[in-house]
Amino acid sequence: MKTRITELFGIEHPIIQGGMHMVGYAEMASAVSNAGGLGIITGLTQGTPENLTKEIARCREMTDKPFGVNLTFLPAVTPPDYPGFVKAIIESGVKAVETAGNNPQKWMPALKEAGIKVIHKCTSVRHSLKAEAIGCDAVSVDGFECGGHPGEDDVPNFILLPRAAEELKIPFVASGGMADGRSLVAALALGAEGMNMGTRFMATKEAPIHQNVKDALVAASELDTRLIMRPLRNTERVLNNAGVERLLEKERTLGDKITFADIAPEVAGVYPAIMKKGEMDAGGWSCGMVAGLIHDTPTVKELIDRIMAEADAIITQRLARLAGARVAA
Name the site residues for ligand FMN (rule: CB under 6 A): 18-21, 23, 42, 70, 72, 100, 121, 142, 145-148, 175-178, 196-200, 285-288, 290
Q: At residue 229, what are phi and psi to the nearest 5 degrees? A: 65, 20
Q: Which helix (H) or strand (E) holds 162?
A: helix 157-167
Closest to ligand FMN by CB, 171 vs 176, is 176
Smaller CB distance to ligand FMN: residue 145 or 193?
145
CA gap 137, 210 in Å, rounded: 35
Shortest separation between residue 325's beta carbon and ligand FMN, angstroms: 33
Give min distance, CB of 316 to ligand FMN, in A: 26
Q: Looking at beta carbons only, is 222 or 312 nearer to ligand FMN?
A: 222
**What whole-number distance in Å separates Cα of residue 160 and Cα of residue 75?**
25
Provide, rounded to whole angstroms, the least separation between the CB of residue 249 and ligand FMN. Answer: 23
| Nearest of 157, 131, 133 to residue 144 by alpha carbon | 157
The residue with its CB nearest to ligand FMN is: 198
Distance CA 16, CA 227 (A): 24
Angle at 287 between CA 293 and CA 108, to 5 degrees: 115
Nearest distance from residue 295's CB to ligand FMN, in Å? 15
Shortest separation between residue 211's beta carbon and ligand FMN, angstroms:
15
Nearest-angstrom CA–CA distance, 197 and 209? 16
Integer Cα distance of 238 and 250 in angstroms = 16
Residue closer to ligand FMN (CB basis): 147 or 171: 147
Nearer to ligand FMN, 247 or 328 (CB): 247
The helix-helix angle for 82-92 and 49-62 (nearest 10°) equals: 30
Which of residues 238 and 248 has its CB atom nearest to ligand FMN in the complex? 238
